Amino acid sequence: MSPAARALRQSRNQALAALGTGAIFGVGLVLSGMTLPSKVIGFLDFFGDWDPSLALVMGGAIAVHAVVFRLVARRASPLFAQKFALPTRRDLDPKLLAGAAIFGAGWGLGGFCPGPGLTSLAGFSGDALLFIGAMLVGMLGVAQLEKLQERAKAKEKAKTAEAARVAADASPHATAS
């Protein structure tokens, strides 16, 4: 098979796998009760009428995935890609914890997290639409901010490099390059 045909087949297989897993994921979310915001809030209501169901959702998901992950980790590569795309960072930084804290506040406030919010769009509920719309605005905002930050950093770097070059030129000991 030519490399081009192979790449095409691989991306087609990846798309099919993603479609199937997205569907299974969605059925799991609905079956488990994650698309009921009041149930999610009931799980987070430790000091009220606590509903522990969601602990079992996470427990069930982790029980399956932790076992499979251990088996898969020995493979050199996934079926339809060259390599695994897994996070490697293990350090804790303020950005991670601040982000998680902000996410948790929104989760407890609305009772939706991203997956169930998206799955609930199917019911054309105004709540889910509003939630997902606002979520996308928040995500775009962060992406935009990070882009600006990166640009500023690049500019700063260029500036210091330019200053160093000028200083080197001005120096009487500088050798012509």
Query: Per CB under 8 A, which of residues 25..64 are in contact with other proteins?
Result: 25-39, 41-42, 44-54, 56-64
Does position 72 interact with other proteins (CB under 8 A)? The reply is: yes
Does position 123 interact with other proteins (CB under 8 A)? The reply is: yes
Counting beta carbons within 10 angstroms of the beta carbon of residue 12, is it exposed (0 to 12), middle (13 to 18) or buried (19 or more)? Answer: exposed
Q: Helices then strands (H, E): number in the chain?
A: 6, 0
Nearer to other proteins, 61 or 174 (CB): 61
Q: Site size for other proteins, by CB under 8 A? A: 115
Out of 87, 171, 173, 177, point to the residue binding other proteins (CB under 8 A).
87
Nearer to other proteins, 151 or 159 (CB): 151
- Enter the tokens of residue 51: 């509903």
User: What residues from 97 to 116 belong to the interface with other proteins (CB under 8 A)?
Assistant: 97-115
Does position 142 interact with other proteins (CB under 8 A)? The reply is: yes
Sign of CA pseudo-dihedral 78, 83, 84, 85: negative
Nearest to 113 by CA among 18, 27, 39, 24: 39
